[in-house]
A = this chain, B = another copy of it.
Amino acid sequence: MPCIGVLGGMGPAATVDFMAKLVALTPARRDQDHLPMVVANLPQVPDRSAAILGRGPDPLPSLQRGIDLLNHSDVGVVVIPCNSSHHWYAQLSASSQAPILHIAQACVRKVPDGGRTCVLATRGALASGFYQRELAARGIDWEIPDGEREQPLVDETIRLVKAGQPEQAGRRLQQMLAHAHGRGVEVVIMACTELPLAASHADTHGLLLIDSTLELARSTVDYALHAGWNHC
């Protein structure tokens, strides 16, 4: 029976948020209308951002073990609700029988044309540059937080969500959004799956926030409904 494969645990709260969004987006009146899914929730995968920056162990072997586990469970598609992991997208795709949906592609598709756009992500994901490449391919100008004053607020937001303190994370994110709003940003891409968990506790200053978790969930539901996995 084919189903959705989720490589999660990075972090675990973000995986739960992804699943909650996926369930809410599925048109269903009873259990049996929902989409089958196998979730490999593997929080012990080494820190992705640190590894990209050359400051920590390589997470690729752990990520590949997760991909293997999902493929052995006969999943028909794989999704990874962790943006930074997509630094290794090519290697993971090469080792997966099931196609892997790319979170940045799902997310950037929903960015409107025009409007100053800022990408919030881990330092590793920004250094990797896959969001910037997707945006450039669509002809969208992008900016990223100032490294000294703003990026530490993004780092702290992410750390606090991972530590189970979403309200405090929301206050940091709100400060970050105030900076962005102050310099004329109109669209903010939450290109880290911890950020939406903080955003629900923040005044977003009227900015248009694009939620990478939600957009990956939408793409996943579209894929699975098109494949008819709700009628297995």
Q: Chain A interface (Cβ within 8 Å of chain B)?
A: 1, 3, 9-13, 15-16, 19-20, 23-24, 26, 28-47, 65, 69, 72-73, 159, 162-164, 232
How many copies of the polypeptide does the oligomer hold? 2
Q: Give complex CA distance A73, B40 in Å.
A: 9
Residue of B31, B33, B43, B69 touching A32 (CB-CB under 8 A): B43
Partner of A23, one of B1, B13, B24, B45: B13
Complex CA distance for A5 and B35, rounded to whole angstroms: 19
Measured CA separation A43–B3 after assembly (Å): 11
Is B29 touching A36 in the complex (CB atoms < 8 A)? Answer: no
A152 to chain B, nearest CB (A): 17
A43 to B34, CA, bound (A): 6
How far, in angstroms, from A23 to B40 measured CA to CA in the complex? 14
A16–chain B nearest beta-carbon distance, Å: 5
For A3, the chain B residues whose CB sits under 8 A away are 42
**Is A9 a contact partner of B38 (Cβ separation < 8 A)?**
no
Does A163 lie within 8 Å of B23, measured CB to CB? no
Chain A to chain B contacts (Cβ below 8 Å), 10 pairs: A12-B28, A12-B34, A20-B20, A31-B47, A35-B43, A36-B43, A37-B39, A38-B41, A44-B232, A72-B72
Shortest Cβ-Cβ A-B pairs, 10 listed: A34-B43, A39-B39, A37-B41, A11-B31, A31-B43, A12-B23, A12-B34, A16-B20, A29-B163, A16-B19
Given A11-B31, A13-B23, A16-B20, output 8 extra A-B contacts at Cβ < 8 Å: A9-B36, A9-B37, A13-B20, A16-B23, A19-B19, A28-B162, A32-B43, A37-B41
Across-interface contacts of A73 in B (CB, < 8 A) = 40, 69, 72-73
Instruction: Give the chain B neighbours of A159 by CB distance below 8 A.
Output: 30
B16 near A45 with CB under 8 A, answer no
Contacts of A72 in B (CB 8 A): 72-73
Contacts of A26 in B (CB 8 A): 12
Q: How far is the CA of A37 from the CA of B162 in the complex (A)?
A: 17
Q: Which residues of B contact A37 (CB under 8 A)?
A: 9, 39, 41
Instruction: Give the CA-CA distance A20 to B166 in the complex, in Å.
Output: 13
User: In the complex, A65→B38 CA distance in Å?
Assistant: 13
Given contacts A31-B47, A43-B36, contact A24 B232 (CB under 8 A): no
